[in-house]
Amino acid sequence: MIQMTKPASRLSPEEQKRRRKRSLALALSLGALVLLFYVVTIAKLGPGVLQRPM
């Protein structure tokens, strides 16, 4: 039996609000991961890693 599916664009206000919150949390997590990688790189290799000749 084929299920009638609700289009993603017809989300209720509550569903839209939850999706926004999930998107925000995902963006913040990715940003935090980038920051973590940057800080760990500096901590492990030292600030000299930024001053290498091209």
Residues that bind other proteins (CB under 8 A): 3, 5-8, 10-11, 15, 18-19, 21-22, 25, 33, 36, 39-40, 43-44
Instruction: Output 18 or 31, the one with its CB closest to other proteins.
Output: 18
Residue 13, token pair as written in the block: 């206000």
Q: What is the number of residues in the chain? A: 54
User: CA 17, 31, 50: angle at the middle one, nearest 5?
Assistant: 165
Residue 11, token pair as written in the block: 């989300």
Q: Least separation, in Å, of the C-beta of 53 and other proteins?
A: 25
Instruction: Output 40 or 49, the one with its CB closest to other proteins.
Output: 40
